[in-house]
Each structure stands twice: as C-alpha cells, then as structure tokens.
Amino acid sequence: MTLRQAQGPHRQAQGPELGTPIQGVTLYSFTRAFHGREYDLDQLIRKTAAEGFGPGLEIIGFSSFRGFPEIDDHFAGRFSDLVDEVGLVRTSLAVNADIGLRPDRLMNQDELLAYMRTQMAAAAKLGFPIARVQISLTPDSMEALAPIAEEYGVTLALEVHADQYASHPRILALRDRYEKVGSPFLGFTMDWGATVTGFAPSLVEAYRRRGASEELLAAVVQLWDDFYEQGPPADQADHGQRFGRFIGLAHQHGRPDLGIDFGINGTGLFGPARVDDWLEIMPWVKHVHGKFFGIDENGDEPSVPVADLITLLVDNGYSGAVSSEYEGWHWNHWQNPFEIVRGEQAIQRTAAEAAGSRMITDAAEARRALDAHLAHAVRA
C-alpha cells in the first residue's frame, strides 16, 4: 500500500448507518472481447453471471444494442428473460448526450430533450432504473429532464469523470440545481477515474511495448506525479497547459507520435483529486463506476485507491451499485480482462469487510437494496 492509498477517506460527521454496496460490473470492461467477437451480447451476459461478477449489470446502450435507442417489444422481453434467468440485476444503462450530432450546429434544448427522452424510454423498456448521462448536460437541461425521468421512473445520474471532479465548479453548479429542484430522479455517477493516485503501470508497459524509452516513461510518470501533488486543474486553461506539457515531453524525447496519447490519458483519464473530494456530492451519488486500470502481481490496483473508495461508500451509507469498470482494455492486450475484473472485485469485498460491512452479491438482496436506494420503480 502506498502512502497516498493509506491516507484514506474520512467519514462525514454524524454520518449515516454503514452502507452495503452492490457488487457488479459494466460490460464495457470486456469491450475487447465483445468487439473481437469472442462473445455476442447474450454470451457475454451469461459469462458475467457464471463468473460471479454480478449481480449488478451495467450496459452501454449504443455499443451493445443494435438499433439503439429504438428497442422493440420482442427484444426487450427476451433481454429481460435472459437477465432474470442468469440471476443478474440491471443497474445502469449508459446513454449519450451527444449535443454535437448535427453537422451544422449544436442541438438546441428542445432537440436535446427529445433525443434524451427516446433513450430514457429505451432504458425503461429494458428495465434499467438508472441512465448514466454525460457532462455536456447543463443544470438547465437536467432540470428540464427531471419530469421526463419521473415519467419513466428512470434516474438520471450524470457521470463525474476526469478531468472533472466532485468539487469542480461545473459539478457544484449541478449539485446546487439538484438541491433546488428537489427531484429524486437527478443525481450523479461517481467515476473513480477522477481520484487516481498514480499513472497506471499497465499503460507504462503498453508504451514500453510501443518502443518508448525508459527515460521518456520515467519523465511521463514524474510529470503526472507532479500534477498529483498540485491537485486537480483549477480551470480549463490549467487543464490545457497540463495537456501541453505531456505533448512537449513526447517531442523532447523524440516520440511526438505519443504526445496526444500522453495528454489524453494523463489529464482526461487519470484524475488527481483526493478521495475526500467525493464528499461534496455524496448525498446525490446514485451509481458508481468502479474505474480501474489493472491488477499487479500482489493482487493490488496500483493506481486507484479501491479500498479507500469502498470505505468512503460504506462509511457514508451508500447501498447502491458499484460497476467494476476496467479501462485498461484500451491498451492491455496481453492479459485476460475477466481475471483482472475478478481481482479488482476481490479488493472491493475485502475493503467492505474491513470497513465493517460487505458487498451485496445475492441478486434478490441486490434488488431490494437498489429499490431502497432509489426509492422508485421503473415505468416501462
């Protein structure tokens, strides 16, 4: 355990009873196997259940369902039967807020609401109680979407993803609007990539395999460590300067081809906020992306403080779902993603027990806990 990991989260003063988070996974973790046609969707759902990665099941709409967001009744029924048959529990459907879909201009508010309504209807038809949405949605848009979410019984959980973080002004503006609106159908998806403690060793290895020198790799890791000590970027200008520093390093070491990649990962995937930062929005967290990048030879996640994050959830009464989200598949083609997810979930379970609680692994209990956590039913 590193010093950064050992610092740990703090419980809110006079906090709630201990939470019992629901174990789960997003099929996004297995994208390489899915896109490589090792498994079709049905087979991947069955494998997820057979491997014990549930009961929670999260799916990305556009990358998993043909024709999404148009879902016919026959497919919806067959999908529901399959999920029930294998003993999984639908937690979150990832939907998109692609305001830039048009080639000539950004969507206006009416177009965006119509676009999101179609996806919320699909989430309800498929039986997902949560729709993960993206940061491109403004406080005004989220407020306007609240009655549509209530109509379908689907909670909109906006993802707080690096380079954003819980205390970022854009996220605090959303939190304040949620408090003003008072709808139980608005909240956040906590993505652990916002609170990373180190540049992922598996990505360093991937760059090594692409011919990056040890000197360059050491410089990239050191630059990220320096940014970690400084904390999250103060604003977009600061973020842009950090991005440029990674590009500059690549040029200085004769590998300009790696510059953009360093910048995207170093600033947009590995967020340097501290674990306690999540307390700013904890009461509004509806879902969790247990983002991680790899498991080392000791069975630890060396760049994401998984145990501290689980402890934070337990200490603050969170009993919603945690979807293990293995992001290392983007670059790690030499290790088995299923074994990597298995290792990360073991860390979660151990951490929950050490915090005086446990992860829910039973489907029936998970359904009850999720219903209580959200306090409403899906209306297809």
What is the set of active-site residues? 161
CB 94 within 8 A of CB 191: no
- Residue 199 is encoded by which pair of tokens? 């540049």
CA 60, CA 68: separation in Å to the nearest integer? 10
Beta 155-160 vs 130-133: how paired, if at all?
parallel
Cross-strand pairs, 189: 159, 287
CA 82, CA 42: separation in Å to the nearest integer? 8
The phi-psi region of residue 59 (left if phi > 0; otherwise alpha if psi is between -120 and 50; otherwise beta) is beta
Q: In the chain, helix, strand, coil percent, each to 5?
A: 50, 15, 35
CA 189, CA 288: separation in Å to the nearest integer? 5
CA 248, CA 269: separation in Å to the nearest integer? 19
* H/E stretch holding 70: none
Alpha helices in the chain (DSSP H): 3-7, 31-35, 41-50, 61-64, 73-86, 109-126, 139-152, 169-181, 201-209, 214-230, 236-252, 259-268, 306-315, 337-354, 363-374
CA 307, CA 5: separation in Å to the nearest integer? 8
Instruction: Give CA 31 to chain center in angstroms.
Output: 14
Give whole-number Cα distances, 325 to 58, 247, 289, 304, 374, in Å. Answer: 10, 27, 6, 12, 21
Closest CA to 193 of 283, 285, 93, 275: 275
